[in-house]
Amino acid sequence: MIEQIIIPKAGQSAVLKLSRKEAIKNIAEQEVRVKVVYSGINFADIIMRLGLYQDAPAFPFVPGYELSGEVIEVGSAVTKFKPGDQVMAGTKFNGYSSEVVLPETQVVSIGNLSLEEAAALPVSFLTAYLVFFEEARVRSGDKVLIDCATGALGQLSFQMLKTGGGSDLEIVGLTSSEAKKDIIRSYGAKAMTHEEFRNSDEKDFDIILNSQGGASIKEHYKRLGPTGKLVCIGASSIFESGRRSWFKVIKTVLEFPKFNIIKLMNDNKGVMGLNVLRLFDGPEYLMNILAKVEMFELHPKVDKIFDASEAHMAHQYIEEKKARGKVLLKWS
């Protein structure tokens, strides 16, 4: 038997349910069976639990995009792994499981990382790499804004920009809490609250990472310098204290700006979007990027680990904006 956390219906964190089911008996020749030790929690997991994530499966389903653990069985055609290997993986759902069976192409060795760090890495690394090194193409001397600076993605972005982004970067990090500013400063970046930034004259950014969506996109667009690039990755502003608020959802959606191509040409600015989950439809592309992790000197920040049976508490911890890094579930 394996254990899983399922979302049976939309609702607050209390709806999360620990369930058991029979393990897959036979694996295909190119598949790997992994005993999961840690599952990573992402903001998208909470949004889909609230019933607000358009790409989520129909209820009930098992959420989760990333995990780490130990290989316990390999298919006859698998060449990269053997039982006992410690690995991490990106998944399109089903990551909140004590055991998974995945194609070999979705599994990567953890290298010098700990299992805790490895479970905190895949989604944040893929997002940061695609934003800064594929879409925006960071260069030495760039001025960069990260609007989710104290979470797992923001902190990993600081590390990746430091080791792979070139020299003389000017980085500004935003946070919702005055108490979290020191996290941003510890990476050598300028720290501001969202309110302070709105009231500031900070401008001429070469790259802006926007996770809030809604009206903030228009505000951030104004802060771009010539040939600056705004990369939008989410709509965290639809979330409010762990509750589904259709007013908040509708307001945020209506506040998303529409960009005219001619205006973009005249302004000499670019607006891009990224949805990493959609790229899991062709996982080989993402796993090739995840394999680049060795190019960087990274230590993903793990803030807190909950037992898998406490998944509801883990979600609530994130909803209350207490997290200062990655939050994980541990499987016994």
- pLDDT (tens digit per residue) in 56-88: 999 999 999 999 999 999 999 999 999 999 999
Please tell me the pTM assigned to this model.
0.93
Whether the pLDDT of residue 16 is over 60: the answer is: yes
CA-based radius of gyration for the chain: 20
SS3 171: strand
Report the candidate in 163, 183, 160, 162 with the shortest Cα–Cα distance to residue 173: 183
The domains of the chain are located at 2-121+300-330, 124-276
The confidence score (pLDDT) of residue 166 equals 82
The CA-atom distances, in angstroms, between 151 and each of 120, 271, 324 are: 11, 23, 6
- Burial class of residue 170 (count of CB atoms within 10 Å of its CB; 0-12, 13-18, 19+): middle
Q: CB under 8 Å to 303, separation ≥6 — which residues?
A: 152, 323, 324, 325, 326, 327
Two tokens at 44? 């998208």
Q: Alpha-carbon distance 95 to 224, whole Å?
A: 37
- 124-276: CATH homologous superfamily? NAD(P)-binding Rossmann-like Domain (3.40.50.720)
Which residue's entry shows tokens 């956390």?
A: 5
Q: What is the pLDDT of residue 241?
A: 56
The whole-number average pLDDT for the span 130-155 is 97
Confidence of residue 249 (pLDDT cuts 50, 70, 90): confident
* Average per-residue pLDDT for the chain: 94
| pLDDT at residue 172, rounded to an integer | 98
DSSP secondary structure letter of residue 149 = T
Place domain 2-121+300-330 in its CATH homologous superfamily: Medium-chain alcohol dehydrogenases, catalytic domain (3.90.180.10)
Q: Check residue 243 and give its pLDDT.
A: 60
**Rounded Cα distance, 275 and 58, in Å:** 19
Q: DSSP labels for 52-112?
A: --TTSPSSSB---SEEEEEEEEE-TT--S--TT-EEEEE-SS--SBSEEEEEGGGEEE-TT
pLDDT digits (tens, 9 = 90+) for 150-188: 999 999 999 999 999 888 999 999 999 999 999 999 999
pLDDT, one tens digit per residue, over 258-293 is 999 999 999 999 999 999 988 888 878 888 898 899
pLDDT digits (tens, 9 = 90+) for 101-117: 999 999 999 999 999 99
Q: Which tokens sit at 317? A: 């911890």
Tokens found for residue 226: 């010539």
Helix %, strand %, coil % for the chain, to 5?
Answer: 35, 25, 40
- pLDDT > 70 fraction of the chain, expressed in percent and rounded: 98
Residue 240: the pLDDT is: 61
Mean pLDDT of 227-247: 80
